[in-house]
Amino acid sequence: MRTLDPQSLTKHVDRLYRAAWALCGSREDAEDLVQETFARVLARPRLLQGDDELYYLMRVLRNTFLTSLRTASRRPVKGAVIEDVVAADPRPTSRPEQAYEVQEVYQAISQLPDNFRMALVAVDVLGLSYKEAARALRVRESTVTTRVFRARKQVAAGLTGEPAQREQVLETRREGTGASGVSYSEENPP
Amino acid sequence: MSEKSPPTESELVDFVRSIDVPAPPELHRRIEAMVAAGAPAGARHQRRLRFSVTGALAAAVVAVALVLATSGGGSSTLTLHTAVALTQRPATMPAPSEGADGDETLAAHVEGVAFPYWEDRGWRATGERVDRAGGRTVTTVFYHGPRGQWVGYAIVAGTPPPSVSGGHVITRGDVPYRFTVTNGVKVMTWLRNGRLCVVAGHGVSNATLLSLATGAGRRADAA
């Protein structure tokens, strides 16, 4: 057990940003999500088990993301609302083709059911081991394995766009739909 | 990727794992400012944590409430509630210095819209913070008045500006200034060079907010 050193967190900003982007599907929302995640983490001292804080950041990122979804769904529209206008992204990129592909893939990931999306982001985007991802998401390691396996299939099929695979995607999504953190009945990889 | 041959799952995994897009420099800067501002407070709280479980729980409740109150839900919509809440948070950076041009502005600006220099009117800039909400960058400079009053002056980046409704409007020099009460705080909003400005005040009247914004009254309106 050790206390989280806030100074050590800054080295994870890039990876956390990519994870947030894949969760949200939008760079602007990803920036907000990363900032709120750090605000939560820094709000008070944190005790960690183990050496790597990345799994802990993933856990807070997940919780912040889910809270934001719930809050957004509950928020009524009031009179004094600033109607946001999406501004064009001013950031240029030296490799526009890759930027397009990254956006395309992250967009596909963001369309996954919550549980599949979290697992894929934790393992493939953030680079956690299955064991660390299981700790971050508070599920069994075998559950993470199953979800990552199916999430990859869905994303690949979604990018391919073939009808037969789309049907499989829909079928898998039905199986994966549900509140985050709730384990499925099928826990073993196919 | 979709314009090429369909990716296999292993190709997809390789591609996803190879992505090394960095976070925007401004996000890095904001996080570093948060860490710099938050670390000492965390250390102080840690000492209390050993002796007071109740205190720790209260701090956690406050932290969660603060996040809920100011996050705007992480959605793509910036609400006036969120913008005002940002002006109520503590500064994370030192106050900007006086502008070099002697035109009664500070060195800080948002897309060319500078924050005003009010020290000759009894209002001293005391800190600054930068936030990202609803896909927009919100920069706030805090000013303290001669009798303990203070205001948070936020400029929302991006054009066209978000529109604000409700409250009542007073026009000065063809500029409409809109007054509302949000989160129990007096708020004035208006546009400067197409950017939305939000000033939320504590212990100040609407007349003072207006005179500060319009430059009328000089030192006498600091009351």
Buried/exposed code over B127-161 (b: 16+ C-beta within 10 A; e: otherwise): bbbbbbbbbbbbbbbbbbbeeebbbbbbbbbbeeb
- Which of B14, B75, B164, B179 is the best substitution to test chain A (most A C-beta atoms within 10 A)? B75
Encode chain B (223 residues) as per-residue pLDDT tens digits.
544 555 778 888 888 888 888 888 878 888 888 887 764 333 333 333 333 444 444 444 444 343 333 333 334 467 788 888 888 888 888 888 887 766 788 988 888 899 999 988 889 999 888 888 877 889 999 999 888 888 999 999 888 888 788 788 888 888 899 988 876 788 999 999 989 999 998 778 888 888 888 875 443 333 3
> What average pLDDT does range A69-84 have in this prediction?
49
The phi, psi pair for B105, rounded to 5°, reads -130, 160
Decide if pLDDT at A1 tops 50.
yes
Angle at alpha carbon of residue A172, lines to B2 and B15, rounded to 5°: 35
What's the distance, Cα to Cα, between the start and end of chain B in Å? 63
Q: What three-state secondary structure class fits B186?
A: strand
Contacts of B60 in chain A (CB under 8 A): 43-44
pLDDT at B71: 37
Nearest-by-Cβ selection for A3 from B15, B28, B46 = B46
Q: How sure is the predictor about A88, in pLDDT bands with cuts at 50, 70 and 90?
A: very low
Where helices occur in B50-202 by DSSP H, the ranges are: 53-70, 80-87
Kind of pairing between the strands at B113-116 and B105-110: antiparallel
Contact in structure between A108 and A159 (CB atoms under 8 Å)? yes
The answer to whether the Cβ–Cβ distance between B71 and A32 falls below 8 Å is: yes
Q: How sure is the predictor about A79, in pLDDT bands with cuts at 50, 70 and 90?
A: very low
The answer to whether the Cβ–Cβ distance between B72 and A32 falls below 8 Å is: yes
Q: Which of residues 119-178 of A touch B (CB under 8 A)?
A: 124-125, 127, 152-153, 155-156, 159-162
Contact in structure between B82 and B135 (CB atoms under 8 Å)? no
Element spanning B153, H or E: strand B150-156
Decide if pLDDT at A122 tops 80.
yes
